[in-house]
A and B are shown apart, each in its own frame.
Chain A
């Protein structure tokens, strides 16, 4: 009676070294991929710049004197700010996508399908309509956040997630509807007011609104703080995976945790969308990929998704810049072309599981 025998499953015993490598390997691989994507993003373009020269330009080494000033300017004023912003945007979308999937326990929850990206773009459109606001104003991310929050409250209030099994589907339906509404309203405002309609519409489809360092400068604090808060909530997200009621009975203030996460993830998304436009499928597909590769523990899933999201968006941006060169495609078009098939795959997989 004292101990009840359990048939142990065969298990590969890992040495301390093995455990270290199995834990650290995903981070190592993701960092390596990110480094490669960063270098490629700065190096490749209308003018190819070899990595050696990029190094010299960045660190102003003595042999940088031999490099023409035009190249230095391309790196510092064009490629580097764009690359860093795209990296931040990929991080923001992937991390908040992972967080939303965890908050709602719904594999389809992502900032784009929940309408949050479109809500943020509506906020930006409204801000730009107000005379006297430049696109590089620091209030742009704030308006984007308010727009995102408005959509979240609407979608959440209508779908009331977590009460029953149908609420998950309701949540996505409400998100798609609210997102389409917000995006159309934003497009309407742009057509009315902005002279550069072409550029604004391209932004709505996921093109950059501004060049230079302004997007990085204005979105960096929000994205960085948002990501760090979400990373710290890994344990909370893990507990939420067992369901609302179990999480509460285990000692989690579920309502508080949910709202903190929703507000943080919305803020992170909005700061990216404010200058990068609405880019779909990164927030959906990247966390799934990370989960398939490395498991569902949010303490690992969030940082790994963040790294992977940055690399994948950088590579998508590279395609967007080079496919129809010298024309630039909005990067959202590339992510949709790559992401939509993945989305169908997920739908099929989900259907098969039921």
Chain B
């Protein structure tokens, strides 16, 4: 185990360029992700959120710079997949799931780095799968085929598979993209709990700034492949930063009950209509 101050995942000057692309998809991004925190990656479409997750997970080799796990001398993309999978688990953007597997069978696939291609499933594997399914609250459907599940439930199957990998870093690509409001909040509550209670380092690429404001410990804002700023919701989610970033006027007010920033698009219109609202959230 690494020292407590060591980041779980460190990105150093990570630069990625896709073949035949004119510009870098990711331009010298440096970030440290610590155990126990939920870090949101936000920014306009095409800013490099998904690329950052792919490069951090090691499936994409960077042009320069590196992504490395705590205590690892080799960068992520140089590690064999089976070793990577135990350091870091990825929950992809929800897409169609293949048919023919039960929830438990799909989650068991997350254990392949433990029992290998041919080895039998051990009691430890089964226990880990059971625990992962329990952690996302899917015990009641563990014998059911995954293609019969609703989007929110299917998303949780993929989260459970990631947990079964036994990795301490979780990378999530748009974990709430296809979910309704209830499932959005449930999923993010779950992720924050994994960070707080189990000490996971959770990184989530997200679009919904209000969900980011409510759930993230820190936010990294990207634009054009570059890191604009990184910090707490209060320091990063301000009208001064967001309006130019999204090329759209925003109004940021504190939540009337909880105090986290509320981001309201079309802020100028609201101000013009003489509604009495506090101008901007106070910086701490």
CB-CB under 8 A from A249, the residues of chain B are 57, 59, 81, 84-85, 89-90, 92
CB atoms of A236 and B101 under 8 A apart: no
B side interface size, CB within 8 A: 40
* A249 to B86 Cα, complex, angstroms: 10
CB atoms of B98 and A241 under 8 A apart: yes
CB atoms of B143 and A11 under 8 A apart: yes
Which of B4-12, B104-112, B214-222, B251-259 sits within the interface? Answer: B104-112
> Digit string of B93-119 for contact with A (CB within 8 Å is 1, else 0)?
001011111000100011011000110
CB-CB under 8 A from B57, the residues of chain A are 249
* Contacts known (A252-B81, A296-B98); A4 close to B190, Cβ less than 8 A: yes
CB-CB under 8 A from A248, the residues of chain B are 59, 81
* A9 to B193 Cα, complex, angstroms: 26
* Contacts known (A249-B85, A251-B82); A297 close to B118, Cβ less than 8 A: no
CB-CB under 8 A from B165, the residues of chain A are 250-251
Main secondary structure of the interface of A (DSSP, over half): loop
* A243 to B153 Cα, complex, angstroms: 20
> Digit string of B5-29 for contact with A (CB within 8 Å is 1, else 0)?
0000000000000000000000000
* A236 to B116 Cα, complex, angstroms: 9
* Contacts known (A251-B84, A296-B98, A297-B100); A245 close to B92, Cβ less than 8 A: yes
A257 (CB) vs chain B CBs: closest residue: B117
> Digit string of B25-46 for contact with A (CB within 8 Å is 1, else 0)?
0000000000000000000000
CB atoms of B153 and A6 under 8 A apart: yes
B138 on the A face (CB < 8 A): yes
* Contacts known (A4-B190, A8-B141, A235-B117); A242 close to B97, Cβ less than 8 A: yes
* Contacts known (A251-B86, A253-B81); A242 close to B189, Cβ less than 8 A: no
Chain B, range 35-90, C-beta contacts under 8 Å to A: 54, 57, 59, 80-82, 84-86, 89-90
CB-CB under 8 A from A297, the residues of chain B are 100-101, 105
A295 on the B face (CB < 8 A): yes
A109 on the B face (CB < 8 A): no
> Digit string of A244-274 for contact with B (CB within 8 Å is 1, else 0)?
0110111111100100000000000000000
CB atoms of B81 and A245 under 8 A apart: no
For residue A300, give the distance in angstroms from its CB to the closest CB of chain B.
9
For residue B122, give the distance in angstroms from its CB to the closest CB of chain A.
14
CB atoms of A3 and B59 under 8 A apart: no
* Contacts known (A232-B118, A238-B101, A245-B59); A253 close to B82, Cβ less than 8 A: yes
A1 on the B face (CB < 8 A): yes
For residue A220, give the distance in angstroms from its CB to the closest CB of chain B.
23
CB-CB under 8 A from B113, the residues of chain A are 250-251
CB atoms of A236 and B138 under 8 A apart: no
* A9 to B97 Cα, complex, angstroms: 18
* Contacts known (A6-B138, A6-B153, A232-B117); A254 close to B97, Cβ less than 8 A: no
A282 on the B face (CB < 8 A): no
A301 (CB) vs chain B CBs: closest residue: B100
CB-CB under 8 A from A176, the residues of chain B are none
CB-CB under 8 A from B186, the residues of chain A are 4
* A8 to B59 Cα, complex, angstroms: 36
* A265 to B54 Cα, complex, angstroms: 31
CB atoms of A236 and B140 under 8 A apart: no
CB-CB under 8 A from B138, the residues of chain A are 6
CB atoms of A9 and B144 under 8 A apart: yes
A170 on the B face (CB < 8 A): no
CB atoms of B141 and A246 under 8 A apart: no
* Contacts known (A235-B117, A236-B117); A253 close to B80, Cβ less than 8 A: yes
* A342 to B90 Cα, complex, angstroms: 39
CB-CB under 8 A from A250, the residues of chain B are 85, 89, 109-110, 112-113, 161, 165
B137 on the A face (CB < 8 A): yes
* A241 to B86 Cα, complex, angstroms: 21
* A123 to B165 Cα, complex, angstroms: 45
CB-CB under 8 A from A254, the residues of chain B are 81
For residue A219, give the distance in angstroms from its CB to the closest CB of chain B.
25
Partner of A8, one of B81, B98, B140: B140
CB atoms of B105 and A6 under 8 A apart: no
A239 on the B face (CB < 8 A): yes
Partner of A6, one of B98, B99, B141, B148: B141
For residue B217, give the distance in angstroms from its CB to the closest CB of chain A.
18
* A243 to B98 Cα, complex, angstroms: 9
* Contact sample, A vs B, 18 pairs, CB 8 Å cutoff: A4-B190, A6-B138, A11-B144, A232-B118, A238-B105, A239-B112, A242-B97, A248-B59, A250-B85, A250-B113, A251-B81, A251-B85, A251-B165, A257-B117, A291-B100, A296-B101, A297-B100, A297-B101
Apart from A4-B137, A11-B143, A296-B98: 17 A-B pairs, beta carbons within 8 A: A4-B190, A6-B138, A11-B141, A11-B144, A236-B117, A246-B90, A249-B81, A250-B110, A250-B112, A251-B85, A251-B113, A257-B117, A291-B100, A296-B100, A296-B101, A297-B101, A301-B100
Question: B-side interface residues toward A, CB under 8 Å?
Answer: 54, 57, 59, 80-82, 84-86, 89-90, 92, 95, 97-101, 105, 109-110, 112-113, 117-118, 137-138, 140-141, 143-144, 148-149, 153, 161, 165, 186, 189-190, 193
Which 10 A-B pairs rank lowest in CB-CB distance, beginning with the nearest?
A296-B100, A251-B85, A251-B113, A241-B98, A295-B100, A249-B90, A8-B140, A4-B137, A251-B82, A297-B100
